[in-house]
Amino acid sequence: MTLYVKKFGGSSVATPEKMKFIAQRVIRDKKENDKIVIVVSAMGDSTDNLLSLAKSAYSVSHGREMDMLLSTGEQVSISLLAMTFKSLGVEAISLTGEQAGISCTGTHGKALIKEINPSRIFQELELGKIVIVAGFQGIMDNGDIATLGRGGSDATAVALAGAMKADICEIFTDVNGVYSADPRWCPKAIKMEEITNIEMLEMARLGAGVMQPRSVEIGLHYHIPIHVRSTFSDEKGTIIQENCTMEGNHYVIKGVAQDTHAVRISVLNVKNVPGVAHKLFQTLANDHIDVDMIVQSVQTSDDSLTDMVFTISDTDLSDARQTLSKLQEDGLIDKVIYDENMAKVSIVGAGMLGTPGIAARMFGALSKAQVNILIVSTSEISVSCLINRDKVEAAVQAIHEEFFEETQLHM
Ligand code: ASP
Ligand code: MG
């Protein structure tokens, strides 16, 4: 008996025809004693459409009602997929996050999974059914529906696999696995056979869209191997796990990632005294705004004032505007400048530890492509540059070319 959790993303369930295709594939691959739990996202662009419906009618930020609205997307797909299995003569049942025993904590729009009680799922599996669970949603202590942040169905799938001690979590998507860069931009991108979850976590955090970062973290925690593969082909994809005997191991860099949702916020002329940064960032944290890169500028002419520059995701922008205007009213900060069209390009690879010159090669590639670097940040296994969003495609291509397309020259 193998217990599978299979997650299908929005593009895999975009139409009734695609749902039928998936159902047929699951039925074809299922061995007699296998137990199958399927997690699905909302159909196609429906989450985006729901979001813009809300935004066109009201200028709301995320909250209880937004979660009530967004969670409906997944309910459409679970019910339709269950009907599809039934029409093919296979017993299936759809469950909402709550029915699947998923409880959440934290804040609306980016709730965290607190606990999963999969007893109902096990009961239904025992009855021989395929269980189809709504991704991206769970239930708060007070009974309200919460969503897990964009791409949150991945977290649902990996967390369910962890809670149920599944043998493997398969993430079915519209690409064949994890590539060295987005293949739509870099046709020569290389598919990784395996990648460590630490590297994958860094890639995902830095914007490699293939998996939601939180889900990779959950996989790391529960030691669940994850297989990222294509919905539309039988080809083996990429295995994400703790240790790899990696085919791609000879690459110092495993991938180039981009985040096209960055917003730069410059808080100008703040008092250069202890406690100001604390107060500013604590207030942002209290309002659940994730801050990414932070730079405090060096001032030479007037040491009593300084600028704080930081980046956030554009999904937090309207909340950040509110928070910062409160601080302006309170007199803690003065002028604030918002630059909305930013992007962050990053390189990731454990191999850069102890290999000098990696950042220099990245900066060289960017300069060759005439891309200006606005902020740089690093971790042990990554280097990131903030740039203008209109240059992001050229930047990714140039960096990919430097590290992957001329490997022979540089090894
Ligand atoms: N439907 C949600 C989204 O578009 C969750 C997901 O697809 O994973 O972000
Ligand atoms: Mg996704």
pLDDT in tens, 111-140: 999 999 999 999 999 999 999 999 999 999
Write out the residues surrounding ion ligand 2, Cβ under 5 A. Answer: 9, 151
Per-residue pLDDT at 299 = 66
Per-residue pLDDT band at 304 (split at 50, 70, 90): confident
Per-residue pLDDT at 121 = 98
3-state helix, strand, coil in the chain (%, to 5): 40, 25, 35
20: left (phi over 0), alpha (psi -120 to 50) or beta: alpha
Residues 6+ apart with CB under 8 A from 259: 206, 207, 313, 343, 344, 346
State the distance from the centre of ligand 1 to the C-alpha of 377, rounded, in angstroms. 28
Instruction: Find the mean pLDDT for residues 346-358.
Output: 91
Task: Tell the residue nearest (CA) to atom 4 of ligand 1.
Answer: 47
Question: Ligand 1 in contact with 10 (CB < 6 A)?
Answer: yes
Q: Write the single-letter amino acid at 21.
A: F
Per-residue pLDDT at 298 = 73
pLDDT for residue 276 is more than 70? yes
Question: Ligand 1 in contact with 147 (CB < 6 A)?
Answer: no
Instruction: Find the mean pLDDT for residues 226-247.
Output: 86
Closest by CA to 264, choosing from 128, 410, 385, is 385
* DSSP run (H or E) holding 240: strand 238-241
Residue 36 and residue 130 in contact, taking contact as beta carbons nearer than 8 Å: yes
State the distance from the centre of ligand 1 to the C-alpha of 45, rounded, in angstroms. 9
Instruction: Find the mean pLDDT for residues 1-15.
Output: 96
Report which bound ligand comes closest to the CA of 173: 2
Per-residue pLDDT at 408 = 43
Question: Ligand 1 in contact with 152 (CB < 6 A)?
Answer: yes
pLDDT mean across residues, the chain: 93
Per-residue pLDDT at 249 = 54
Task: Name the token pair of 107.
Answer: 């804040």
State the distance from the centre of ligand 2 to the C-alpha of 376, rounded, in angstroms. 27
User: Going along 41-155, which residue ranges are E strands?
Assistant: 92-95, 102-105, 112-116, 130-134, 137-139, 145-147
pLDDT for residue 269 is more than 80? yes
209 or 17, which is more confident: 17
State the distance from the centre of ligand 2 to the C-alpha of 363, rounded, in angstroms. 30
Q: What predicted TM-score, i.e. pTM, was given to this entire model?
A: 0.85
Report which bound ligand comes closest to the CA of 134: 1
Closest by CA to 310, choosing from 274, 275, 284, is 284
pLDDT, tens digit, 9 for 90 and up, residues 71-100 = 999 999 999 999 999 999 999 999 999 999
pLDDT for residue 248 is more than 90? no
Per-residue pLDDT at 8 = 98
Please report where in the chains the tokens 């962050």 appear, as a residue: 344
Residue 135: Cβ within 10 Å count: 32
Query: How far apart are alpha carbons 310 and 68 in whole angstroms?
Result: 31
State the distance from the centre of ligand 2 to the C-alpha of 308, rounded, in angstroms. 33
Please report where in the chains the tokens 């096990």 appear, as a residue: 122
Per-residue pLDDT band at 302 (split at 50, 70, 90): confident
